[in-house]
Amino acid sequence: MTSSTQRISTGQGIAIVINAIAPSALLQLPAHVVSITRQDGWLTILLSLLLGLVYALIIGRICLLSNGKPLLEWLESRFGKAVALLIGVILCGYFFMGATSVIRQFTNFVQEQLLRTTPILAIALVIALVSVYAVWQGIEAIGRIHFIVFAFGLMLMMLNFALLWSHYNWTNFMPFFEISVPKHMSAVLLPAGWLSEISIVLFLLPYFEKPSQAAKSAMWGTVVSGVMILTMVVMIIAVFGVRIVNVLSYPSFAALGMVEVGKFLERIDVFLLTAWIASMFTKVSIYLFCLFQVMDYLFRIRSRSSPLNAFAISAFISASSIYSWSRNSNFIEYIFTSLSAYLLISNYGLFLLIWGGLSLTRRKTDAIEGGGAV
């Protein structure tokens, strides 16, 4: 089956968008937000969700204007070859940096929590190769995998949230609205940056039956991702309080590790951890899928049809993810500073400019056509 005949549904598109945001966000975002806005961290997430919804409306508008055409080819027809190449270079850097950072984040967690004696490069290479294999299967296989992983993970997350009910201390949220507005504005940047990853839906445009499906995927993907992150922030504050959260490396999984059913079933969090690991593979796969699309356009490198090209790119990305940061502390600092700024610039900045350019050129076209009609 060729790529032009492959299709994904709206539900699969929503799952892909969520899996592009939630897995890494749920791992480190709650602790970062709580460290800044403390017991009002839930309000920070709500503010970032509102900002994300505005961005989702803009992305949805671009989807509707595209008529389902491949993004870069369509931008070339609207703005010219030079502008499309410039946008392609920016997006190539974005997806490359995104893939390397996600693989490093995934690798760090796996080595620290599961495979302490395994070489970190070997873990990264396996992650990249498995993700490339998923890309080889085509967008329909990716869509089905994303939907199954999302549905399984959401079900387990809701179950764990309910089973932790007896551990919640709602006084941990007192006093309400104590944190100043400037602190909320500084804390909102990282979750807003992560929510901006819905822009990957623009690379799925040719695979929807209608462009409106892509717009719906962006909107609902933002809503569900934001609610999932909000739920996790509320959970860790209610369970631990702000003081303990600040000393935990992965407070989300620490909270879930407290779940027990009676005296015969413990560590239910293992099932959710399994779903999370699967979701991280799906996140890497969609980043590589978009990266290969951009490289196809820029360099005519048919990565998905050439095993040698795909393996070479996987090896390069794996090595970059390991050797770009000499220490894990340097990588954590990069996530909360440089990567956050880069997400905001490459998503909000770039696609706001694209949306503005599309609106301007459309007005000019309408004016010329209106003048000709007169």
DSSP string, 35-92: HHHGGGHHHHHHHHHHHHHHHHHHHHHHHHHHTT--HHHHHHHHH-HHHHHHHHHHHH
Give me the pLDDT at residue 257, please. 66
Asked if residue 47 has pLDDT above 80, the reply is yes
Question: Over the stretch 110-137, which tens digit does the pLDDT of each residue have?
Answer: 888 778 888 888 888 888 888 888 888 8
Whether the upstream peptide bond of residue 175 has omega within 30° of 0, thus cis, is: yes
Place of tokens 């969090």: 269
Query: What is the C-alpha separation between 72 and 1, in angstroms, rounded?
Result: 23
Confidence of residue 367 (pLDDT cuts 50, 70, 90): very low
Torsion angle of alpha carbons 223, 229, 230, 234, nearest 10°? 160
Higher pLDDT, 310 or 350: 350
Asked if residue 369 has pLDDT above 70, the reply is no
Asked if residue 44 has pLDDT above 50, the reply is yes
Among 248, 247, 236, smallest CA distance to 39 is for 236
- The pTM assigned to this predicted structure is 0.86
Among 19, 32, 11, smallest CA distance to 233 is for 32
DSSP state of 196: G
Is the CB of residue 51 less than 8 Å from the CB of residue 182? no
Higher pLDDT, 73 or 332: 73
| Total count of residues recorded for the chain | 374
Is the CB of residue 304 less than 8 Å from the CB of residue 310? yes
Q: Which two tokens stand for residue 20?
A: 């592009």
Whether the upstream peptide bond of residue 119 has omega within 30° of 0, thus cis, is: no
Q: Which two tokens stand for residue 154?
A: 């959401």
Q: Which of 79-83, 112-116, 346-350 has the lowest mean pLDDT?
A: 112-116
Asked if residue 272 has pLDDT above 80, the reply is no
Place of tokens 């699967």: 278
Is the CB of residue 69 less than 8 Å from the CB of residue 265? no
